[in-house]
Amino acid sequence: MAAQFNIGDIVWAKLSSFPPWPSKIVRPKKDIKKPKGKKPVYFVFFYGTEDHAWVKAENLKPFEEYKDQMIKANKGKRFHQAVEAVEAVLRKGGGAKRGRPPKHSASPKSGPYRDTDDIDHEEVVPSSKPVQKTYSREPLLGKTVSPSTSIGLKRPPESLGAEASIILKRPREDNESDLYNFDESEHETESDIVTSKDDITPTCLKIGFLGLGIMGSGMVRNLIKTGHSVMVWNRTPMKCRDLVQAGASVGGTVNEVVAACDITFGCVADPNAVRDLVFGTSGVLQSIRPGKAYVEMSTIDVETVQDVAESIESRGGRFLEAPVIGTRKPAEDGMLVIVAGGDRSLFDDCESCFLAMGKKAFYLGEIGSGTRMKLVANMVLGSVMAGYAEGMSLAERAGLDLQTVLDVFKEGPLNCAAVRSKGDAILHSRFEPSFPLKHQQKDMRLALALGDELKQSLPVAAAANEMFKRAISLGNGDNDMSSVYRATAL
């Protein structure tokens, strides 16, 4: 059972992707809404960052009881400055060490936050020095920062007080350890911390979406859920049925969708499919004119992206590349990472769509930058997956119990979503496609071609690519990428 805390208690608060941080339980303002969910939460102030956030009770620990353990685990300068700030407050009697009511609170309410009208925000005086924003850690809404900016989920002004920023601005310390004794929820995501998708205000523009595969169907469903007006098309019309029931309309052809919509998104399998979609009979290009915009979300090569961009722009349309990082589950949950390049005004116009489909969208600059970023990311993912598969195969050959191997991985620095999910798939030989192996091999091939073009040696990625090719030859192309394990277990 999670510990009970009072207003004013000094604690260690743990958010996803951050180490435990010296914090204080404070009262939220009346207009700051408690996040949805059944788990008890507290509103906390983070020393040294001037930030606030809702934190689950299970991710809070008493300050004094865990102080030595936390200080030993974290050597970062900003961390120790925050600890010193807490110690100064405690010396002055400005906080409770072990859950005792603070002296300045006449009648504190114990336990987690409840929706009551008589709770006022406890005043926390911010530092006199302005907080330096780190844009790789804080989502932005339509602000321009050169050369790259990002959009992330963020509460609108009417539901979030000026004092309370939900995403920490503090950059991660280079030497901060990821190994802490906090039980972090397996299902905690950035959206748990940031906001509900219900807070998104949909654009008034009509949205088109072409391609309803593993990724596209989940992305469209999130657009519909957040109130966007969406028209869809898919090569196999049957895949449109569920989305029509959810609220989408259907276009008979690709160019019919483009003609009817202000912004059209495309998400298909590979460069050839993109070229057919854009340049083919009744394709995207047929209906492009001034006022129309096209966003390519497929993972393809830079040359194809540039060809599509030039053709769209030559007809007066706007173009943005916006490939996504993530697989089936993040697409269904609206937690993809979007990496974009091209027309900046179109990136801004897509804000509500990106918030619906993803947890963060980065604007990287010129056309081709988003594709390069996606290829680098998937090349690293494929190389890691190949090494992981080899390690599991070696462990099995050495007589180790694979469940124990996974348990060890989950308790150490290898603990991440990929290790957990792909490891379980290997252990139980369940390779239903979250990200088909043939698509991963395609991305490896495209990344290697980019390396050849730039004269960059990529020996590890090249070796991993051979493993994926062998797995395809063994009949695993349509299985999940984790089935590359079958290329090693021979």
- Rounded distance, CA 370 to CA 155, Å? 26
**Whether 347 and 462 share a structural domain:** no
CATH number at residue 82: 2.30.30.140
Residues present in the chain in total = 490
Neighbours of 449 (CB within 10 A): 14
From the list 61, 67, 360, 374, the catalytic residue is: 374
Domain boundary among 335, 367, 399: 367
CATH number at residue 465: 1.10.1040.10
What is the reported pLDDT for 124? 34
What is the full DSSP assignment across 336-379? EEEEEEE-HHHHHHTHHHHHHHEEEEEE--STTHHHHHHHHHHH
**Whether 217 and 322 share a structural domain:** yes
CATH number at residue 334: 3.40.50.720
**Whether 363 and 408 share a structural domain:** no
- Rounded distance, CA 138 to CA 377, Å? 20
**Whether 301 and 408 share a structural domain:** no
pLDDT tens sequence across 96-143: 554 433 333 333 344 554 433 333 333 333 333 433 433 333 333 333
Is 92 one of the catalytic residues? no
- Let me know if residue 125 belongs to a domain: no
What is the reported pLDDT for 89? 82
**Whether 322 and 394 share a structural domain:** no
Q: Which of 68, 418, 342 is nearest to 410 (CA)?
A: 418
**Whether 403 and 289 share a structural domain:** no
Domain enclosing residue 68, as ranges? 9-91
What is the full DSSP assignment across 458-480? -HHHHHHHHHHHHHHHTT-TTSB
**Whether 315 and 403 share a structural domain:** no
- Rounded distance, CA 373 to CA 376, Å? 5
What is the reported pLDDT for 75? 65
- Rounded distance, CA 220 to CA 249, Å? 11
**Whether 241 and 352 share a structural domain:** yes
- Let me know if residue 409 belongs to a domain: yes
Name the domain count of the chain: 3
Q: Enumerate residue ranges in the chain where pLDDT < 70.
A: 1-2, 16-18, 75, 94-149, 151-196, 490
Neighbours of 4 (CB within 10 A): 14
Given a contact cutoff of 8 angstroms between Cβ atoms, the answer to whether 324 and 336 are in contact is yes
What is the reported pLDDT for 2? 62
**Whether 381 and 363 share a structural domain:** no
Phi and psi at residue 107, in whole multiples of 5°?
-145, 70
- Rounded distance, CA 444 to CA 457, Å? 14
Look-up: residue for tokens 């490939």? Answer: 323
**Whether 405 and 300 share a structural domain:** no
**Whether 258 and 229 share a structural domain:** yes
- Let me know if residue 99 belongs to a domain: no
Does pTM top 0.85 for this prediction? no
Q: Is 72 exposed, middle or buried (0-12, 13-18, 19+ CB in 10 A)?
A: exposed
Look up residue 352 and give its amino acid.
Answer: S
**Cβ within 8 Å of residue 404, ≥6 positions away:** none
- Let me know if residue 183 belongs to a domain: no
Domain boundary among 342, 367, 392: 367
- Rounded distance, CA 470 to CA 437, Å? 11
